[in-house]
Chain A
């Protein structure tokens, strides 16, 4: 078996790939519907 472990660091701010967090959360993520 080939084993691969992916771990996210909770302390770091994420900008991309955090699309699933709400527009008013503090992570810099963004609601996908917030278009100007």
Chain B
């Protein structure tokens, strides 16, 4: 058996998808012989092009994440970090040390800097500006990715635009005021929507990230309408999942089968409305043998306490699993990584630990799911997540068939993929 080729039976009769790294070949109304021929062809294709196994990386780029603060002005009902419950802010000198020490390789001259939560990344804007200014002073080029709750003022907005920041705004559409209120309980939708509109009006590229709770399971269509009216061109949905450290408990989680059906319906809705909108389902991606997440390989996120965590969900030294997920610290002007912990994290991959994933025919697309979500649910050692499995197995066969049958669906859920029809 070729470990890089999976065959998925699709709905209807004799419909199949043959999945391999960077490729999906559909055989619709195919006989057994025709499918076997397709598999043989894909085996040859794999031998021909061993390099086409995913994204190519530029070795001159170094990546680093920073959590500027755990403080937040919103009190999102599901917040994975309980943002605002504590108010730690990263000391400027610590952030500078991390940026300076992010690479010891003189060839790595470009920095991709991720400012991520915890709390609201742009809440202490003067600090953020100083961090970015410093990064720009020591790297030839800095690409900045920011995830924000979108409640910033015009000064911040202008800075995001002028610095061409790749911005992701957490925005829950019609559920915004219920799920993402300010600390005092007041509505946040008007300021966030105004900022999204103005960012897009200034030609910034914005992805709206939308959390679907059990309560909001039937709101995707209306949220899509609202996002499109703001000019949003890319929306990403994800289910609310609870953890030991999240603000909410499991009652916010949607039923996984219902969630998958709602995603499919959302994609169909975008087609029906002829919206110019890309939908990131979070459960469908380019096939590859990549890990779902860089947690087990190269994630380095610096926390306000000076710890280096491999997952933003484990941001406080007192959090459960910190002794496993935190892989180092920034101290005395140095970045110290614990290699035994890093090696230990390599285990958290479907190839090694997830049992049934090894033989699952969706593995090249699913990649075993979010490792931390699995750990929160099932502890260590890591195992399959029932939630993710159920979503993937409900969603993917149907979505793959939709992609095969309708080029509009393909353009909504994929980027930079070429499609040949025979």
Contacts and interface: CB of A to CB of B under 8 A. Distances in A.
A24 B64 contact: yes
A6 to B, nearest CB: 4
- Contact-residue bracket for chain A: 35 or more
Contacts, number: 208
Interface stretch (B130-138, B205-213, B221-229): B205-213
Interface in B357-406: 365-367, 370, 372-373, 403-404
B156 to A, nearest CB: 12
B414 interface: yes
B112 interface: yes
Contact of A33 (B63, B278, B313, B404): B313
B418 A25 contact: no
B55 A14 contact: yes
Given A3-B26, A23-B65, A33-B370, A10 B56 contact: yes
- Contact-residue bracket for chain B: 35 or more
Interface in A7-35: 7-35
B269 interface: no
The dominant DSSP class at the A interface is: loop
A2 B29 contact: yes
A21 to B, nearest CB: 6
Given A19-B285, A22-B291, A35-B211, 11 more contacts: A3-B26, A4-B25, A4-B419, A21-B290, A24-B300, A26-B112, A33-B313, A34-B114, A36-B116, A36-B120, A36-B149
Interface of A: 1-36
